Amino acid sequence: MGVMSQPPDIDSLGVIELKALVLELLAKVTEQERTIAALRDEILRLKGGPGRPNVKANVGPSGLDKATDEPRGHGKAGKSRRRGSHRDKLAITDERRLEAEEVPAGSRFKGYASYLVQDLPRPRSGDPAAGDALSA
Burial class (CB in 10 A: 0-12, 13-18, 19+), 109: exposed
- Residue 39 has what pLDDT? 93
What b-and-e string marks burial along 19-33, b requiring 16 or more CB atoms within 10 Å of the CB? eeeeeeeeeeeeeee
DSSP letter, residue 88: G
> What pLDDT score does 118 carry?
77
pLDDT of residue 44: 86
Please tell me the predicted confidence (pLDDT) of residue 128.
Answer: 55
- The whole-model pTM stands at 0.34
Q: What is the pLDDT of residue 136?
A: 43
What type of residue sits at position 101? E
pLDDT digits (tens, 9 = 90+) for 64-100: 666 666 665 555 555 667 677 777 777 778 888 888 8
Spans of the chain, pLDDT less than 50: 132-136
Separation of alpha carbons 106 and 103, rounded Å: 9
3-state helix, strand, coil in the chain (%, to 5): 35, 0, 65
Contacts of 69 (CB under 8 A, 6+ apart): 61
